[in-house]
Amino acid sequence: MNNAVWTLLQPRLIDAANGFRSRASGIRRLLFLLVGLVFWIGAFLIFYRVLAYFESVQDFGDILAIKLLSMMMLTFFTLLLFSSIINSLSHLYLSRDLSLVHSLPVSVRDIFWARWLGSAFDSSWMVIAFSLPVILSYGWVFQAGPGFYLAAVGAVLCLCLIAAGISSLIVLCGAALLPAGKIRTLFVILGVLLALLLVLVLRLIRPEQLVNPDSFASAVLYLNSMQALDRPWLPTTWITDVMRLSLKGKWGLSGFNLALAASCFLFLLFLNDTLARLLYFRGFSRSQTTAKRLFAPLMYRGISWEFPLGFLSRPARAVAVKEIRSFFRDSTQWPQLFLICALIVVYLYNFSVLPLDRTPISSVYLQNVFSFLNVGLAAFVLSAIAARFVFPAVSTEGEAFWIIQAAPVALKTFLWIKFFLYAIPLLILSEILIVASNLLLGVTSLMMIVSVVTIFCLVPAIVALAVGLGARFPDFKSENPALSATSFGGVLFMLLSFGLIALVIILEAGPVYKIFMARISGHGFSFWTILWLILSFAFALLLCVFAVFFPMKAGEKHLLAK
């Protein structure tokens, strides 16, 4: 790395070092460390158990373990491509400091590589962090030596760098080809493509077939399907092979695959270097021209889309319209919206392929257990969506927050407008998810009512928690408020939200089971049982009510004192 690239990386490194040194962040670091540790240990234990089970299956065990590895590498690679493209676009073309950086007496090539390194790091660290417990569990279960760990870490690094190399090539070409002022459109195009890619990849690997070898006519067909995605030209195949072969101690072949991956990365570096010299500044210069609106105003016979908001008070409608406009005009939101749509499709599809009829347990019982677990799962999905979109809702006001502070609108009103703006669509989305998945499962009417009512109580609680904590820990100076989901406040929200969901599910599990079994057996309830049922449901409801009002109040208090 030459001096100029190193110098260009300095502000970022110093910023990180200063953040690390600051005393105020001590508790935050501890919380992150704790969450990271719990996550790592949890991931390790899950993989260890799964792999240990696979190893115990004669003949097929090893194949299943490698198939799982190959599926994971393919998923990692898709995620890496997705996040690298988004990061490259921001780091190379849209960051606020780019005007300053391009005015400095350094070559465009140096700027490109400094930004590329930042982008590659940002898009890869999470995948690397997650892959470590996976690698450890494989090494542990298959009793691998230190050589395996070295090879596996090298392979994952190559996977990240290849994804970063491919992504920057796509972004370089896209920025050069798109008309000036339309570079943000790239987000929309990529969003659609990535959503399709995700659905395609998940359907290609068909994870449900792993648990159903009977559906294949013969063992040969089953084995063939296991190899289906291991195309020799896919980088994920080389990476899987590096690990697979080093697990078996075949160092020569493992090294060959690692060399293949490394040479692919080096070739991508060369291509990036050549194209960056030719295209980067041209694309950057075009991205600096006036931003164009993505879509024309939506009107039908003179009636605007704002018409349904007519029942709101004028200040409330003003904030609501502003929020909706700003959200949909921010093209960085689009890929994630498309991705959510893709995930919902996959989520619902998975319920339709659950092999409930092939289990030894009573299918009615299992359907209803799944339905109950589905409430928790849907609420967890909702928490993740809230962390990404609702938690940053106050921070997205950015430096323009003075407008709200100076306006004759109480901060309380402002926060409640934000709450309703997100609570209503998320409630509709969650109820659709729950009802659709319950219909696919064919659950009893009791479970349908329990699921619908539980989600109806949980959604406002989760949204209020997100809005309230977002107001308690706002970041009005952030260049990308969406990133606040990974801040201290964002992590705290996830923890509290998961805690709330778990508590509500635990409080309801016993009573629901009791009612369900009583219906099957036709027994009645004693007085104490009825009291227990009422208290459990009432406490769950109280928790949700508390989660709605307390964080909102805390957020308002903090904003007022700011």
Partner 1 sequence: MIELHDLTKDYKTTLAVDRLNLHVRAGEIYGFIGPNGAGKTTTIRMMGGIIEPTSGAISIGGIDLRKDPVAAKKMIGFVPDRPFLYEKLTGSEFLRFIADLYAVAPRTAARRAEELLRQFALWNWGNEIIESYSHGMKQRLIIAAALLHDPKVMIIDEPMVGLDPEAVRQVRDILKELAKQNVTVFVSTHTLSLAEDLCDRIGVISKGTLLAEGTVAELNRAAKTGNAGLEDVFLTLVREG
- DSSP H or E stretch at residue 212: none
Tell me whether residue 409 or residue 505 sits nearer to partner 1 (CB atom): 409
Residue 317 touching partner 1 (CB under 8 A): yes
Residue 22 touching partner 1 (CB under 8 A): no
Residue 303 touching partner 1 (CB under 8 A): no
Instruction: Tell me the torsion sign for CA atoms 168, 174, 180, 182.
Output: negative
Instruction: Bin 289: left if φ > 0, else alpha if -120 < ψ < 50, else beta.
Output: beta
- Of 269, 321, 341, 435, the one binding partner 1 by CB under 8 A: 321
Residue count of the chain, please give it: 562
Residue whose C-alpha is closest to residue 429's, from 465, 456, 391, 469: 456
Rounded to a whole number of angstroms, the minimum distance from the CB of residue 3 to partner 1 is 34
**Residue ranges of the alpha helices (H) in 442-487?**
445-472
389 Cα distance to chain centroid: 11
Three-class SS state of 143? coil
- Of 293, 302, 311, 445, the one binding partner 1 by CB under 8 A: 293
Phi/psi of residue 362, nearest 5 degrees: -55, 130
Tell me whether residue 133 or residue 474 sits nearer to partner 1 (CB atom): 474
Tell me whether residue 18 or residue 352 sits nearer to partner 1 (CB atom): 18
- Of 275, 315, 427, 557, the one binding partner 1 by CB under 8 A: 315
Which residues in 388-427 contact partner 1 (CB under 8 A)?
398-400, 402-403, 405-410
| Contact indicator for 119, 91 with CB cutoff of 8 Å | yes
- Of 21, 314, 361, 526, the one binding partner 1 by CB under 8 A: 314
Phi/psi of residue 299, nearest 5 degrees: -140, 145
| Contact indicator for 137, 44 with CB cutoff of 8 Å | yes
Three-class SS state of 299? strand
Tell me whether residue 361 or residue 561 sits nearer to partner 1 (CB atom): 561
**Site size toward partner 1, by CB under 8 A:** 29
Rounded to a whole number of angstroms, the minimum distance from the CB of residue 473 to partner 1 is 18
User: CA 315 to CA 412: how far, in whole Å?
Assistant: 12
User: CA 448 to CA 332: how far, in whole Å?
Assistant: 37
Residue 330 touching partner 1 (CB under 8 A): yes
Residue 322 touching partner 1 (CB under 8 A): yes
Residue 318 touching partner 1 (CB under 8 A): yes
Residue 561 touching partner 1 (CB under 8 A): yes
Rounded to a whole number of angstroms, the minimum distance from the CB of residue 562 to partner 1 is 7
Q: Which stretch binds partner 1 (CB under 8 A): 18-26, 230-238, 322-330, 479-487?
A: 322-330
User: CA 239 to CA 357: how far, in whole Å?
Assistant: 37
| Contact indicator for 151, 243 with CB cutoff of 8 Å | yes
- Of 282, 329, 519, 523, the one binding partner 1 by CB under 8 A: 329
Tell me whether residue 271 or residue 554 sits nearer to partner 1 (CB atom): 554
Summarize as ranges the residues that interact with partner 1 (CB under 8 A).
290-293, 314-315, 317-319, 321-322, 325-326, 329-330, 398-400, 402-403, 405-410, 560-562
